[in-house]
Amino acid sequence: MGFLDSLAVFGMSGKDIYHNFRGGTGDDAHGLYQTATVLAAVPPRLLEYTWGEDRLRWELEPSGSGTRMTLRHTLAKPDMAAMVAAGWHICFAVLEHLLDGDPVGVIRGQDAMDHGFERLRAGYAEKFADGSARRGD
């Protein structure tokens, strides 16, 4: 089963889904749920959906002996680019550990701050100062 297959949303194009962005289940659930509408789903290579006012598009394609994953996150509020980029940076670091067989678990909130979120945010803010975040460079 591929990564996007495991998201259990294929066949739901045009339907609303709900995602708990803070994690946890049952009594341990944290209450930040957000509605997402699936815009496109082509297993196992494409998933596109809304996330609040933003749009996310995940694509998988063969690349050499592996797979290239591309995420395009279109922001409704471009001034959030540095913060969003820092968050995704940490998410992809977690994913890299998982794929390397060294899972580190979810990193969010204060844990993200302890893992360099502010340094990453400042670095992305500097990088995006020339407006490249709005151009998609």
Rounded Cα–Cα distance for residues 14 and 60 (Å): 21
In the prediction, which pLDDT does 109 show? Answer: 84
Residue 97 host element (H or E)? helix 81-99
Residue 59: CB partners within 8 Å, gap ≥ 6? 45, 46, 69, 70, 72
- Is residue 74's pLDDT more than 70? yes
Rounded Cα–Cα distance for residues 95 and 97 (Å): 5
Higher pLDDT, 107 or 1: 107
Higher pLDDT, 20 or 56: 56
In the prediction, which pLDDT does 17 show? Answer: 60
What sign results for the dihedral spanned by CA atoms 106, 114, 33, 94?
Answer: negative
Q: Phi and psi of 21, rounded to 5°?
A: -80, -5
For 43-55, write each residue's pLDDT tens digit. Answer: 889 999 998 899 9
Share of the chain above pLDDT 70, in %: 71
For 102-119, write each residue's pLDDT tens digit. Answer: 999 888 888 899 999 999
Rounded Cα–Cα distance for residues 101 and 108 (Å): 20
- Is residue 135's pLDDT more than 90? no
